[in-house]
Amino acid sequence: MDRYRITAVSYLNTKPLLYGLLNSPIGGQLNLELNIPSDCAQKLKNGQADLALVPVAIIPELQQPRIISRYCIGAVGEVRTVCIYSDCPLEEAETLYLDHHSRTSVELAQLLLKEYWHLSPALLPAQEGYIRKIGGRTAGLVIGDRTIGLDKKFKHCYDLGEAWQQHTGLPFVFAAWVSTREFDAPFLQAFNDALASGVSQIQKLKYLLPSPAPDFSLEEYFTRYISYQLDEAKEEALHRFLSYLNEKQGAAKPMPVFQR
């Protein structure tokens, strides 16, 4: 039996998908690793993974990228865990730290600054501990589980999923299951069935997973802020975002093939 090397984002929002995979008939075929988004992208790009749940900004850098699932990490409006935080209104911010965990969120923030907010603060690459430096005229993009509770710490919170929807009228895809190889139809069906099973068991997961904060509702996060189905509207949004990346880089990279 073939075993597939899989890497997936380690954040809370992936737990329904991972629960489905690990409790499915194909669970025994998977060598699964969890990493921050940027490491997932690098492992797929370097051939260290057969398929990966990766930030979609890596797609133009891959040879013959394939999206192999009908499930993703997406949002329809607010996403809650991809935000710019500041103590001053964003238009007054002079500098902005960019979270080093995910290029997708960094690229999305830069797109929105240019096309939606029409702002140009100095952009700073972030390192561990940068959240402590947010304050005064310095804002910061923070993603993932580290955002939980920050809306109470800072005066202003700008949700990138919400801003993108207001700018485009579309949902957004932050991460997708991507590969640079082909898979046979039975594996793809089993893979998608496993993900569907995980998403369908969110009611159970809210009892099995510890909440990251006393006032944080796992059920609300998984069902209101994260949207897992990669539907036609999200495909349109993904195409628009990847087209922006191609234009920014001055290259006409092919769009990913959907093999699912």
The span from the first CA to the last CA of the chain, in angstroms, equals: 21
What pLDDT is stored for residue 249 in this prediction?
81
What pLDDT is stored for residue 228 in this prediction?
98
Share of the chain above pLDDT 90, in %: 84
- Among the listed ranges 78-87, 99-108, 113-122, which one has the minimum average pLDDT value? 99-108
Q: What is the pLDDT of residues 160-183, one digit of tens each?
A: 999 999 999 999 999 999 999 999
Token pair of 200 as six digits: 């369908």
Starting at the edge strand that comes first in sequence, how are the strands of the sheet with 138-143 ordered?
122-125, 95-98, 138-143, 82-86, 156-159
Q: What is the pLDDT of residues 28-71, one digit of tens each?
A: 999 999 998 889 999 999 999 999 999 999 999 998 999 999 99
Which ranges in the chain belong to alpha helices (H)? 15-22, 37-45, 103-115, 150-153, 160-168, 185-200, 202-208, 218-220, 232-249
Confidence of residue 9 (pLDDT cuts 50, 70, 90): confident
The domain spans of the chain are 4-76+171-258, 82-168
Query: Does domain 4-76+171-258 bear CATH number 3.30.565.10?
Result: no
More confidently predicted of 255 and 191: 191
Confidence of residue 250 (pLDDT cuts 50, 70, 90): confident
Which ranges in 72-157 belong to alpha helices (H)? 103-115, 150-153
What pLDDT is stored for residue 255 in this prediction?
82
CA pair distance 72, 16, nearest whole angstrom: 11
Confidence of residue 121 (pLDDT cuts 50, 70, 90): very high
| C-alpha pair distances (Å), 40 with each of 44, 53, 181, 202 | 6, 7, 16, 24
pTM: 0.94
Confidence of residue 257 (pLDDT cuts 50, 70, 90): confident
What pLDDT is stored for residue 216 in this prediction?
93
Is the CB of residue 84 less than 8 Å from the CB of residue 117? no
CA pair distance 24, 123, nearest whole angstrom: 43
Is the fold of 4-76+171-258 the same as that of 82-168?
Answer: yes
N residues, the chain: 260
pLDDT at position 203 over 70: yes
Tell me the fold of 82-168: D-Maltodextrin-Binding Protein; domain 2 (3.40.190)
